A and B are shown apart, each in its own frame.
Chain A
């Protein structure tokens, strides 16, 4: 099937939409990486077998080509609520089942086909209120989100281009090719205020315009899918769940800047994303929505996939371009900017996955509508990977300008186990902390920068009172030190020395003078580094020193870990008031550090103590204190 004109696109879109409307029911089994790892493919097979057994099954082919009706069962992209997976969604109704196993297939299908109402045990139950939610969109985790980039994720089959087209896919591409000049497209993107979702927040339209006016016969569009922040998986979900949206965004960009070739640089650690993208590119080529003479307009655009070899620094655009060229992924100084001299020295537009995924919406709805969500300077939505000590974790999409409180308490459902909130690390190893004082600040690119954090690629880690912020900073520093490309001195050597100091602190070997040296070094690395990786690497340290300096001082001066995390700094003592002298602790102590007389308070010899904690759990009177 070749879609060679805008009319065909419209006709086919309409035909397929009507075709899909013949479904009496649709079972969507999440086939995102998380759910697949939890066994969702077996769930899919079981559900399909069950529906077929009841002769209710209809394939998409029968539905679209033969006009039959029945129940379809498809694999969808990621819903973002991965810790509840495997997830199954039912249409109509938008019912969400969580933690589904293949043994639930009969119950699910029976309830669905016999109209019995949802299987209650598979519905989401609020951990605090106990309330049960049937509809996905009503679950608090989703209710406070605004899903536009992720609108199709979990709802359509990402491996079937017809679903995307039926949902209005490739209409934005058709619109720019038929109604807009490349300059118009760039202007529309400028007007939308869309900013780079890869972390830096550079105005996307300005990048497009710079590439458009850059002279050169050959230009490239590159999609940065090298998502490397620990715990972040926004781009992966988009590529897995709605790959055509990314392709459409790239093709629009290609038209706008004058490029006929695009690359998607995606981590090799995302095999499913690679496979979905490959399928999507193949289907788009077959339909003529990529390739030569797209929609009969004479516009040519091809997309290749380049798998990254696992270096975090390749998320930096110049390093990424070097990597595509087959060179060692090391950043180079800017200027020249990629828009002037990028891939193989040609003008190159490079944007992040989520940025491209925003483009079809900008074009379809227009800049004005796009600006309606988000803040004046950061319009639109942003996806985040919410993790850490909150009740609900997963992938979320929220309008820019939302408060941290809404994210943590509404979407995240508050802290787990009634613990106290301490901070949120935002932006991963390049970001910083937000604390109680920032709870009601409107989050966007600029407000975050002003408090020493950044959106980064969108990791949000919630910590509680049991988190040691020094250890937390040490973890991120060890990550950046390992991932530094080693090119410039401040990043290569500076992160090594910062890590050394943080390691000393958590090992109980910190030196009082480290406090000043660490801060001075962090500022120098931030100022002096060549690329974004080095310039932002000190952020976790600086923000730790800004908001939790007393914790660091406690480590290096008092040799104490207030959160009780750093083993080397833990000390145990027996409260003589509570101790009944039962001798249990001295009997479990593996090194004989506890002595005393029966029925009199016991004592711990801190020289001998190896801080294993065995005594604490053995004490029936809770007389042994840590810290």
Chain B
């Protein structure tokens, strides 16, 4: 029995010594009472809305443990009749309003609401069923949002705004009509969502889930005309075991390969080799920039959520974004472009399935620039969780699966490729390469400890032939946003910046087994660095197979061939364009497409008058029947608005007064030209 001191509180009549706990929740949990919560996450702000963690304090009544700091002498009851009543009522109320299709829910067996209903033995609900059916949003490539299952805990809202600094989700309406939704009830695909999926990673129910594509995988595996190829990302191998009762961080690479083969994959390859290739390309790009003295840091581009974030948030950022495709896409490109040929196959006969810790990879694989002649470089992306689903479905006893090794040629990797799975890994691998490439000396100490771990901003400075190269590593887009602000204001200056959208890097991707606690994430990171340590080769530039690829297919880093195969370009998504409004539709053979911008800038400069003037003048000139006239949104000519587009050419400064001359000078000649 503990002694009572001036610094004691009483939890269920037992004295407990305070030790700087910030809230009652952590204190009570520390003494072995698992208070239930929906809306409490240590990495998010205190929200206090679910009211599941309530306790009774003598003299004060019922309070939420998450938002109440302990004070000495407090007498806390964690399971009094009043506490029980509130908790059970809350659960019952949530369940009553929840679409309870548990057996077919994506979260079945992995749902907090289900767990707690079970734990508290809720067997009867005294209230009526949910009385509205809201549409499901499956517009996103990565996430499916079912508002009918939402319990409005706000975890996704705070994750998206506080950790990721984006905030596409928020509350709308009042009372029982409250919903979590993107602004103006838009769909997820229509807003600045970067598909990082962290919202789904914290969602306690099936309201936000990763889009499952397991069925497409089974279909491909059953198709005899396809060579089905798997690529496995580094972070998968330290997390998949958790789904089968193994410890977090346990390296199960061999079992993953063995299981994929038993599932029917023809070849199982390692994405890490593409990571090595990425290092060769990106480091070369970095060195070139350093030599040329190009302003601004080079940003990594491995993380598709970060790339989309950059496209939304800074057109001036894009020129500093490495043109390297991500390892997933480099792999797909090599397989379809070169390896297929060696096999004597057409690209369409090879079906590439990525096993990724990531939900944004689904979006990345579907980007139009990564499809050649209608054939995507990567056909399908499955998350770690989806793979575990397939393994369970097949009945394989994962723990008993015989380990197997990756197939060649895409099976030989270095430790540098593996550490891509943790935040700081890309930068560390790049530094291992840059040092040797620039100095020509062998790097003995390959570990860059200062950029490992979970600190929001990590830094390293490396001396490359007398030049101090400053490196920054951020993870979580909120941290990235902060860093960008500092770079913009000139407060910070770096040469190379690694950004991973998910906190902790890919090991914490939203496609991984759900783990919101820090310990699991840390264990996975340890697994990654352990795998690196065990590798025979730890630098990308030492990978003999990569060297062979250059020799056989790509010549040298940043060669023309390499650019065609391994690099990409970006375009701004700063504007979310609305659909054109068709005003005149010509069915003539000879016609001109004319569009007037009604975006904010142009509109305020009078483009609406311009538009009306065009209609008037077209009538006067007798060309109304020959015009396809559209009102359109931003033509990106804001500095010289109002903007007008004639066929494919954009003209600026077309005010209503200039319309007459413009028709004479540009539109009529264009019509004449068409006739010719």
Inter-chain contacts of A523 with B (CB < 8 A): 85
Report the bound CA distance from A529 to B61 in whole Å.
12
Residue of B whose beta carbon sits closest to that of A526: B62
The docked-state distance in angstroms from the alpha carbon of A165 to that of B481 is 53
Q: Point out the residues of chain A lying under 8 angstroms from B178, CB to CB.
A: 485-487, 492
Task: Tell me the bound Cα distance from A528 to B63 in angstroms.
Answer: 7
Q: Which residue of A lies closest to B176 (CB)?
A: A496
CB of A17 closer than 8 Å to a CB of B: no
User: Given the complex, which residues of B lie within 8 Å of A529, measured CB to CB?
Assistant: 51
- A212 CA / B171 CA spacing, docked (Å): 35
| Contacts A490-B93, A494-B93, A527-B62; A520 near B176 (Cβ below 8 A) | no
Chain A nearest CB, measured from B326 CB (Å):
36
A520 near B68 (CB under 8 angstroms)? no
Instruction: Give the complex CA separation of A483 and B173 in angstroms.
Output: 10
| Interface contact A486-B173, CB-CB below 8 Å | yes
Is residue A517 within 8 Å, beta carbon to beta carbon, of the partner chain?
Answer: yes
Dominant SS among interface residues on chain A:
helix
Cα–Cα, bound, A530→B152 (Å): 14
Interchain CB contact under 8 A, B176 and A528 = no
The answer on a CB contact under 8 Å between B86 and A484 is: no
Q: Select which of A335, A486, A521 is within 8 A of B69 by beta carbon.
A: A335
CB neighbors of B among A443-497 (8 A): 481-490, 492-497
Residue of A nearest to B154 (CB): A487
Stretch of A73-81, A112-120, A325-333, A612-620 on the interface side:
A325-333
Instruction: Given the known inter-chain contacts A332-B48, A486-B152, please indicate yes or no for A520 contacting B85, CB distance below 8 A.
Output: yes
Q: What are the residues of chain A within 8 A of B175 when measuring CB–CB?
A: 481-484, 486, 492, 495-496
B81-98 contact mask (Cβ, 8 Å, vs A): 1 or 0: 010011001100110110
Instruction: Return A402 CB to nearest CB of chain B, in Å.
Output: 30
CA distance A486 to B170 in the complex (A): 12
- B54 to chain A: closest residue by CB: A528
Interface residues of B in 95-137 (CB under 8 A from A): 96-97, 126-128
Q: Chain A residues near B171 (CB, 8 Å)? A: 328, 330, 486-487
C-alpha spacing A530/B64, complex, angstroms: 8
A91: chain B residues at CB < 8 Å are: none
Contact A528 B90 (CB under 8 A): yes
Near A by CB (< 8 A), chain B positions 14-53 give 46-51
The answer to whether A500 and B127 touch (CB under 8 A), given A335-B68, A528-B51, is: yes
B174 at the interface (CB under 8 A from A): yes
Residues of B contacting A194 in the complex (Cβ-Cβ under 8 angstroms): none
Tell yes or no: A259 within 8 A of B by CB: no
Closest A residue to B38 using CB positions:
A489
Give the distance in Å from the alpha carbon of A330 to the alpha carbon of B94 in the complex. 20
How many angstroms between the C-alpha atoms of A335 and B22 in the bound complex? 12
Q: Which residue of B lies closest to A479 (CB)?
A: B175
Please name all residues of chain B whose beta carbon is closer than 8 Å to the beta carbon of A496 when the two chains form the complex.
Answer: 97, 175-176
**Cβ contacts under 8 Å, A335 to chain B:** 67-69
Whether B177 is near chain A, meaning CB under 8 Å from some CB there, is yes
**A524 at the binding interface (Cβ < 8 Å):** yes
Q: Which of B531-565 contact A (CB under 8 A)?
A: none
A490 interface neighbour in B47, B51, B128, Cβ under 8 Å: B51
Most chain A CB within 10 A, of B86, B173, B175, B177, is at B175
> In the complex, A454 Cα to B197 Cα: how many Å?
47
Task: Given the known inter-chain contacts A333-B67, A497-B127, please indicate yes or no for A488 contacting B89, CB distance below 8 A.
Answer: no
B174 touches A333 (CB 8 A): no
Chain A residue contacts of B62, Cβ below 8 A: 527-528
Which residue of A313, A332, A486, A489 is within 8 Å of B50 (Cβ)?
A: A489
CB neighbours of A41 from chain B (8 A): none
In contact, B86 and A483 (Cβ under 8 angstroms): no
Interface residue? A556 (CB, 8 A): no
In the bound complex, residues from chain B placing their C-beta under 8 Å from that of A530 are 48-49, 51, 64
The answer, among B86, B128, B151, for a CB contact under 8 Å with A527, is B86
Within A521-545, which residues are at the interface with B (CB < 8 Å)?
521, 523-525, 527-530
Whether A492 and B51, one on each chain, are in contact in the complex, defined by CB atoms closer than 8 angstroms, is: no
User: A486–B177 contact, CB under 8 A?
Assistant: yes
> What is the distance, in angstroms, from A514's C-beta to the closest C-beta of chain B?
9
Across-interface contacts of B48 in A (CB, < 8 A): 332-333, 488, 530
Please report which residues of chain B, range 132-176, place their CB below 8 angstroms from some CB of chain A when the two chains form the complex: 151-152, 154, 170-171, 173-176
Please state if B82 and A487 are interface contacts (CB–CB under 8 Å).
no
Alpha-carbon gap, A529 to B50, bound state (A): 9
Chain A residue at minimal CB-CB distance from B94: A489
B152 and A492: CB pair below 8 A?
yes
Residue contact B94 to A493, C-beta cutoff 8 Å: yes
Tell me if A497 and B96 are in contact (CB < 8 A): yes
Nearest Cβ on chain B to A499's Cβ, whole angstroms = 9
Q: Which residues on A sit within 8 Å (CB–CB) of B85?
A: 520, 523-524, 527
Q: Is A303 an interface residue (CB 8 A)?
A: no
Using Cβ atoms and an 8 Å threshold, which residues of chain A touch B54? 527-528
A502 CB within 8 Å of chain B? no
**Nearest CB of A to B169, in Å:** 12
Whole-angstrom distance from the CB of A108 to the nearest CB of chain B? 48
Interface residue? A311 (CB, 8 A): yes
Q: How far is the CB of B564 from chain A (nearest CB, A)?
A: 49
Q: Would you list which residues of chain B between 569 and 597 have a CB under 8 Å from chain A?
A: none
Knowing A335-B67, A528-B90 are in contact, say whether A493-B176 is a contact too (CB < 8 A): yes
**When A489-B90, A490-B86, A527-B86 are in contact, do A484 and B96 touch as well, CB less than 8 Å?**
no
Q: How far is the CB of B81 from chain A (nearest CB, A)?
A: 11
Contact string against B for A residues 163-203, beta-carbon threshold 8 Å, 1 for contact and 0 otherwise = 00000000000000000000000000000000000000000
CB-defined contacts of A492 to chain B, threshold 8 Å: 152, 175-176, 178
Complex Cα spacing A328 to B127, Å:
29
Cβ of A488 and Cβ of B51 under 8 Å apart?
A: yes
Identify which of A332, A484, A487, A490 contacts B90 (C-beta below 8 A): A490
Q: How far is it, in angstroms, between the C-alpha of A527 and the C-alpha of B85 when the chains are bound?
A: 9
Contacts of B152 in A (CB 8 A): 486-487, 489, 492
Docked-complex contact A524 and B89, CB < 8 angstroms: yes
A527 touches B174 (CB 8 A): no
Contacts of B173 in A (CB 8 A): 486
Report the bound CA distance from A530 to B96 in whole Å. Answer: 20
Contacts A524-B89, A527-B62, A527-B85; is A493 near B97 (CB within 8 Å)? yes
Compute how far the CA of A177 lies from the CA of B128 in the bound complex, rounded to whole angstroms.
61
A313 to B173, CA, bound (A): 13
Q: Which residues of B contact A482 (CB under 8 A)?
A: 174-175
Report the minimal beta-carbon distance from B93 to chain A, rounded to whole angstroms.
4
Nearest residue, chain A, Cβ from B83: A527
Within 296-331 of A, Cβ neighbours of B (below 8 Å) are at 311, 313, 328, 330
Contacts of B170 in A (CB 8 A): 328
* Bound Cα distance A51, B173 (Å): 53
Chain B, residue nearest A334 (CB): B67
Query: Which residues from A are CB-within-8-Å of B94?
Result: 489, 493
Within the complex, the shortest CB–CB distance from A86 to chain B, in Å, comes to: 36
Q: Are the CB atoms of A488 and B50 closer together than 8 Å? A: yes
Q: Which residues of B contact A517 (CB under 8 A)?
A: 126
Min CB distance, B324 to chain A, in Å? 40
The interface residues of chain B lying within 8 Å CB-to-CB of A495 are 175-176
Give CA–CA (A523, B83) in the complex, Å: 11
Interface residues of B (CB under 8 A from A): 46-51, 54, 61-62, 64, 66-69, 82, 85-86, 89-90, 93-94, 96-97, 126-128, 151-152, 154, 170-171, 173-178
Given contacts A497-B96, A497-B128, 19 further A-B contacts (CB under 8 A): A328-B171, A335-B67, A481-B175, A482-B175, A484-B174, A487-B49, A487-B154, A487-B171, A488-B48, A488-B50, A488-B51, A493-B97, A497-B127, A500-B127, A521-B126, A524-B89, A527-B62, A527-B86, A528-B90
Which 3 A-B residue pairings sit nearest by Cβ, starting from the closest?
Answer: A486-B178, A333-B67, A333-B48
* Subset of 27 A-B contacts with CB under 8 Å: A333-B68, A335-B69, A481-B175, A482-B175, A486-B152, A486-B171, A486-B173, A486-B176, A487-B49, A487-B171, A488-B48, A489-B50, A490-B86, A492-B176, A493-B176, A495-B175, A496-B97, A497-B96, A500-B128, A520-B89, A521-B126, A527-B54, A527-B62, A527-B85, A528-B89, A529-B51, A530-B51
